[in-house]
Structure 1
Amino acid sequence: MKDSERAAARPRPEELERAILGEDPAYTAADVAAETGVTIDQAQRLWRALGFPDRGLEVAFTHADVEAVSILVRQVEGGQIDFDMAVTLTRAVGQTMARLADWEVATLVHRVQEIEAGDKATGSRATTGLHLIEQLNEPFEQLLVYVWRRHLAAAVARVEGLGGDMAADTADATDLRTTQMTVGFADIVGFTELSNELTQSRLGDLVELFESRCSDVVASQHGRVIKTLGDAVLFVNDDPIRAFDTAEGIIAVVGRDGRMPDVRVGLASGSVVLRLGDVFGPPVNLASRLTAVARRNRVIVDPTTAALLPPDQFETRPLPARPVRGFGLLEPVAVRRH
Structure 2
Amino acid sequence: MVADPATPGATPDPGTGDLERAILGSDPVLTAEEVAEVAGVTPDQFRRLWRSLGFPEFAPDEAGFVGADADAARLLLSVTGGDFVDFDVAVNLTRAVGQTMARLADWEVTALLQKVDELATLESENRIETAISLVSELNRPFEGLLIYAWRRHLAAAAARMEALRASEEDLHTVEVTVGFADIVGFTALSNTLTQERIGDLVELFEMRCTDVVATQRGRVIKSIGDSVLFVNDDPVKAYDTAEGIINVIGRDTRMPDVRVGLASGAVVQRLGDVFGPPVNLASRLTGVARRNRIIIDAMTAALLPTEEFETRRLPARPVRGFGLVEPVAVRRR
Task: Give TM-score scaled by structure 2 length.
Answer: 0.94
Aligned with 1:24 (options 13, 23, 27):
27
Is 1:43 the counterpart of 2:46? The answer is yes
Is 1:55 the counterpart of 2:58? The answer is yes
User: CA shift at 1:8, angstroms?
Assistant: 7.5
Aligned with 1:150 (options 149, 152, 164):
152
SS of structure 2 residue aligned to 1:77: coil
Aligned amino acid, residue 49 of structure 2:
L
User: CA shift at 1:82, angstroms?
Assistant: 1.0
Match of 2:135 in 1: 133
User: CA shift at 1:241, angstroms?
Assistant: 0.7
Q: Structure 1 residues 17 and 101 mapped into 2: Cα distance closer, same or farther (>3 Å)?
A: same
Aligned amino acid, residue 198 of structure 1:
L
Match of 1:75 in 2: 79
Separation of aligned partners in 2, 1:62 and 1:76: 23
Match of 1:265 in 2: 260
SS of structure 2 residue aligned to 1:181: strand
User: CA shift at 1:3, angstroms?
Assistant: 7.4
User: CA shift at 1:110, angstroms?
Assistant: 1.3
User: CA shift at 1:205, angstroms?
Assistant: 1.0
User: CA shift at 1:203, angstroms?
Assistant: 1.3
Separation of aligned partners in 2, 1:109 and 1:316: 47
User: CA shift at 1:281, angstroms?
Assistant: 1.0
User: CA shift at 1:18, angstroms?
Assistant: 1.3
CA-atom RMSD in angstroms? 1.9
Separation of aligned partners in 2, 1:316 and 1:8: 72
User: CA shift at 1:24, angstroms?
Assistant: 2.4
Pairwise mapping of residues 213-292 of structure 1 onto structure 2 (< 5 A)?
Answer: 213-292=208-287
Separation of aligned partners in 1, 2:255 and 2:245: 11
Separation of aligned partners in 1, 2:31 and 2:299: 55
Q: Identity over the aligned pairs, expressed in percent?
A: 65
User: CA shift at 1:282, angstroms?
Assistant: 1.1
Aligned amino acid, residue 139 of structure 1:
P
On the 8 A contact 1:164/1:176 being kept in 2, the answer is no
SS of structure 2 residue aligned to 1:265: strand
- Which segment drifts farther, 325-334 or 274-283? 274-283
SS of structure 2 residue aligned to 1:76: coil
C-alpha offsets along residues 143-171 of structure 1, whole Å, 9 cap, x if unaligned?
Answer: 11111111111111111111269xxxxx9
Match of 2:91 in 1: 87
Task: Give TM-score scaled by structure 1 length.
Answer: 0.93
Match of 1:201 in 2: 196
User: CA shift at 1:80, angstroms?
Assistant: 2.5
User: CA shift at 1:313, angstroms?
Assistant: 1.1
User: CA shift at 1:2, angstroms?
Assistant: 8.4
SS of structure 2 residue aligned to 1:320: coil
Match of 1:34 in 2: 37
Separation of aligned partners in 1, 2:70 and 2:83: 20
User: CA shift at 1:25, angstroms?
Assistant: 2.4
Separation of aligned partners in 1, 2:47 and 2:162: 35
Aligned amino acid, residue 26 of structure 2:
E
Separation of aligned partners in 1, 2:66 and 2:231: 40
Aligned amino acid, residue 315 of structure 2:
P
Aligned amino acid, residue 234 of structure 2:
D
User: CA shift at 1:96, angstroms?
Assistant: 0.5
Aligned amino acid, residue 88 of structure 2:
D
On the 8 A contact 2:3/2:11 being kept in 1, the answer is no
Is 1:181 the counterpart of 2:184? The answer is no
Q: Which runs of 5+ in 2 are unaligned?
A: none
Separation of aligned partners in 2, 1:235 and 1:301: 14
Q: Which runs of 5+ in 1 are unaligned?
A: 166-170
User: CA shift at 1:38, angstroms?
Assistant: 2.6
Aligned amino acid, residue 16 of structure 2:
P
On the 8 A contact 1:178/1:273 being kept in 2, the answer is yes
- Which segment drifts farther, 76-85 or 304-313? 76-85
Separation of aligned partners in 2, 1:20 and 1:331: 54
Aligned amino acid, residue 29 of structure 1:
A
Match of 2:116 in 1: 112
Q: Structure 1 residues 116 and 320 mapped into 2: Cα distance closer, same or farther (>3 Å)?
A: same
Aligned amino acid, residue 59 of structure 1:
A
C-alpha offsets along residues 122-143 of structure 1, whole Å, 9 cap, x if unaligned?
Answer: 1x11111121111100111111
SS of structure 2 residue aligned to 1:206: helix
